[in-house]
């Protein structure tokens, strides 16, 4: 990439678009839904300018599957939605996962269940991990600022290409509709999916002998005959679900190809944790008021620290476990009734105590509310 | 388009011997439909690697396994949307959708009509056997009213779709129907559909001896093929027949062949216009 870094004022949703385009995304398919629509709108403006393609599909399943089809043709692709729209996309997300097609899905979360409301929420933490049937491992990244919308979208595109997986960005209505200064980098590292180097006649669509668990992927329409199959399949890409050994190996490989690369995937920020008596674990739009609350707790003499998760899935179990060995108290602020808290709880020992502070009324958690929870948990 | 070859000359080149024999029932119409596809593809001027078969799920969904061409065997009903994304991103490719009656007009009905509306340059070969075969004989949107099926033990009470009329009304610009009895017409219509620059549909009236014919007491697969022969009427002849005479008949031939702007080409023009400014 050429040019100089520059500062611009962007909406969170626009920053996702700019990050995606700078990371090489040239196809977007979407269906309008509040609070994600600005992503489709901005893509419809920006993509043709970059020689790419935008299409408004007839529904959410059509959007995620059109984006998957584009990616199979070798073009980096993205879709976006919110709440009920993401629920619809789950069919296509699971299909992209088993077919191992790189894809980015932005989930600008809103309240639920059902149509719920269009207020900020963090109710899709578990849906991002377990939303599709079959329980395949997912990557989910959570921005807490407009700059992070840009940065994490770039990261999402690169991770999806590197590991041939769908990657979800867990934004929400407050971040998507927030306008902040963003520094657009002069250049950035672009990652391309591993493409085959073998002779076309030797190509296997799912070469499980690849040492890192990620098989090379040919673009459709080349000399490489490709078989993208959403059935449990063999290396060639043909249905093989009656074979226990092949089924077992495939399901394990799809999970392990992320677990064996955790160092490349986990993004965590530790703030004042070295001497902390209390760990606040937060992500997305609760990370910012949590940081403010930690600062005010410190002023009041409470040794609180913040563990901010930019990668929500895979969850950093080892990291939280090691914190639990030297810190007794944990507090998880969330805009749901305790989805991330459940994962933190799995890492705690007998001596640890878990506290929660939650909001599900459509409002954001404030530093005051989190500080009050810190003081109560102390 | 080159001359259409006899199928036996093409088998070694196009069939994936390692995956044969197929899982299809004896007498099923899929094999004949695949024969028509292979003959049409081999006769076209387009290199084979530029074709992508896009299949749904069900008996017909396994077709990509047996033919030596790239394929996407993805999700029930979503073939048109995978193909729409692929075609927009890669206008040089030729997606061919292989969908059954349930796949195309029930779970995927929305995607089918919108692909036709956009007039996107992809080809759909819908094989209509009027029943859900792989799942065990439940009724589909094309099952005739009154028919008994696994989910209609007392006879079906709702009305069927006419897939050709549906796609024509939605804006498809090449719409044709043939049957698995009319093997020469089958290959020829698929060839014309592939060459057509817009959304093209060939509906193939097929037979499911296991789950449709058996319940309706239609006899052996051969007898079912004879039924197709005896009950088919060309589009030209059908024009002179009354609605009463056409009741229960299969009308074959080309219903729509027209030229209208195609969405991928239009979008490429839009990109050029933006860059010319």
pLDDT tens sequence across A177-199: 999 999 999 999 999 999 999 99
ipTM for the predicted complex: 0.96
Q: How far is CA B118 from CA A63, B84, B171, in A?
A: 15, 10, 7
Q: Percent of chain A having pLDDT more than 70?
A: 99
The Cα of A284 is separated from the nearest Cα of chain B by a number of Å equal to: 31
* Each residue's pLDDT tens digit, A157-180: 999 999 999 999 999 999 999 999
Would you state the pLDDT for residue A1? 45
CB nearest A59 (choices: B65, B84, B110): B110
CB nearest B52 (choices: A58, A68, A221): A221
CB nearest B70 (choices: A74, A92, A225): A225
Is B252:B179 a contact under the CB 8 Å cutoff? Answer: yes
The Cα of A236 is separated from the nearest Cα of chain B by a number of Å equal to: 10
Q: Percent of chain B having pLDDT more than 70?
A: 99
Testing the interface with A: which of B24, B52, B85 to mutate, by most A Cβ within 10 A?
A: B85
Is B40:B190 a contact under the CB 8 Å cutoff? Answer: yes
Would you state the pLDDT for residue A209? 77
Phi, psi of A119 (to 5 degrees): -90, 160
CB nearest B89 (choices: A27, A227, A238): A27
Looking at beta carbons, which residues of chain A come within 8 Å of B22? none
pLDDT of A4 higher than 90:
no
Cβ of B78 within 8 Å of Cβ of A62? The answer is yes
* Each residue's pLDDT tens digit, A299-310: 999 999 999 999
Residues 168-197 of B with CB under 8 A from A: none
**CA nearest neighbour of A171 among A133, A125, A233:** A125
Q: Taking all residues of chain A, what is their mean pLDDT, rounded to a whole number?
A: 96
With an 8 Å Cβ cutoff, the interface of chain A facing chain B consists of 26-27, 29, 48-49, 51, 53, 55, 57-59, 61-63, 65-75, 77, 91-92, 95, 99, 219-231, 238-239
Q: How far is CA B159 from CA A77, B129, B145, B148, B274, in A?
A: 40, 16, 5, 13, 48
The Cα of A152 is separated from the nearest Cα of chain B by a number of Å equal to: 24
Q: Is A237 left (phi over 0), alpha (psi -120 to 50) or beta?
A: left
Please state the pTM of the whole predicted model: 0.97
Burial class (CB in 10 A: 0-12, 13-18, 19+), A296: middle
pLDDT of A3 higher than 70:
no
Q: Is the CB of residue B274 less than 8 Å away from at least one CB of chain A?
A: yes
């Amino acid at each position: 990439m050429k040019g100089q870094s520059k500062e611009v004022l962007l909406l969170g949703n626009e920053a996702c678009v700019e990050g995606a385009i700078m990371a090489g995304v040239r196809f977007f398919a979407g269906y309008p839904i509040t609070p994600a629509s600005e992503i489709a709108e901005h893509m419809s403006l920006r993509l043709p300018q970059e020689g790419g393609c935008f299409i408004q599909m007839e529904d959410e399943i059509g959007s995620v599957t059109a984006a998957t089809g584009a990616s199979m043709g070798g073009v980096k692709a993205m879709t976006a939605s919110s709440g009920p729209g993401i629920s619809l996309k789950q069919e296509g997300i699971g299909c992209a996962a088993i077919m191992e097609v790189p894809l980015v899905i932005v989930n600008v979360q809103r309240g639920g269940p059902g149509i719920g409301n269009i207020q900020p929420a963090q109710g899709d933490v578990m849906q991002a991990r377990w939303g599709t049937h079959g329980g395949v491992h997912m990557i989910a990244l959570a921005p807490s600022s407009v700059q992070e919308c840009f940065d994490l979208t770039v990261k999402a595109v690169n991770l999806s290409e590197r590991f041939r997986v769908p990657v979800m960005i867990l934004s929400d209505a407050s971040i998507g509709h927030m306008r902040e200064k963003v520094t657009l980098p002069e250049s950035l590292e672009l990652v391309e999916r591993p493409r085959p180097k073998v002779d076309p006649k030797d190509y296997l669509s799912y070469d499980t002998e690849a040492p890192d668990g990620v098989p090379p992927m040919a673009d459709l329409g080349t000399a490489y005959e490709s078989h993208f199959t959403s059935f449990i399949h063999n290396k060639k890409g043909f249905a093989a679900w009656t074979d226990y050994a092949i089924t077992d190996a495939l399901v394990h490989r799809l999970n392990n190809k992320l677990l064996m690369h955790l160092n490349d995937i986990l993004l965590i920020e530790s703030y004042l944790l070295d001497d902390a008596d209390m760990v606040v674990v937060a992500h997305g739009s609760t990370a910012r008021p949590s940081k403010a609350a930690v600062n005010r707790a410190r002023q009041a003499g409470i040794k609180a620290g913040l563990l901010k998760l930019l990668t929500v899935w895979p969850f950093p179990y080892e990291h939280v476990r090691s914190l639990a060995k030297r810190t007794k108290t944990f507090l998880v602020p969330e805009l749901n009734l305790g989805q991330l808290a459940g994962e933190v709880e799995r890492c705690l020992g007998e001596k640890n105590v878990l506290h929660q502070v939650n909001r599900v009324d459509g409002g954001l958690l404030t530093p005051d509310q989190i500080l009050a929870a810190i003081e109560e948990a102390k | 388009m080159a001359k259409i070859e006899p199928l036996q000359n093409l088998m070694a080149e196009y069939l994936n011997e390692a995956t044969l024999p197929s899982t299809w029932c004896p007498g099923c119409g899929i094999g004949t439909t695949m024969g028509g596809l292979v003959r049409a593809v081999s006769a076209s001027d387009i290199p084979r690697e530029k074709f992508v078969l896009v299949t749904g799920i069900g008996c017909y969904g396994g077709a990509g396994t047996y033919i030596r061409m790239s394929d996407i065997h993805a999700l029930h009903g979503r073939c048109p949307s995978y193909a729409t994304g692929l075609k927009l991103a890669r206008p040089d490719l030729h997606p061919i959708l292989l969908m059954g009656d349930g796949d195309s007009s029930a779970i995927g009905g929305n995607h089918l009509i919108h692909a036709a509306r956009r007039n996107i340059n992809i080809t759909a070969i819908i094989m209509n056997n009027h029943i859900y075969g792989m799942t065990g004989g439940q009724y589909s949107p094309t099952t005739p009213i009154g028919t008994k099926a696994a989910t209609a033990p007392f006879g079906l009470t709702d009305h069927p779709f006419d897939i050709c009329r549906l796609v024509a009304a939605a804006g498809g610009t090449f719409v044709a129907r043939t049957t698995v009895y009319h093997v020469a017409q089958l290959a020829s219509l698929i060839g014309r559909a592939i060459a057509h620059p817009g959304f093209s549909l060939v509906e193939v009236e097929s037979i499911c001896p296991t789950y449709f014919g058996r319940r309706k007491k239609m006899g052996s697969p051969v007898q079912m093929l004879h039924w197709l022969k005896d009950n088919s009427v060309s589009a030209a002849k059908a024009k002179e027949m009354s609605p009463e005479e056409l009741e229960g008949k299969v009308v074959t031939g080309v219903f729509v062949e027209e030229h209208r702007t195609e969405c991928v080409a239009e979008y490429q023009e839009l990109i050029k216009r933006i860059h010319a400014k």
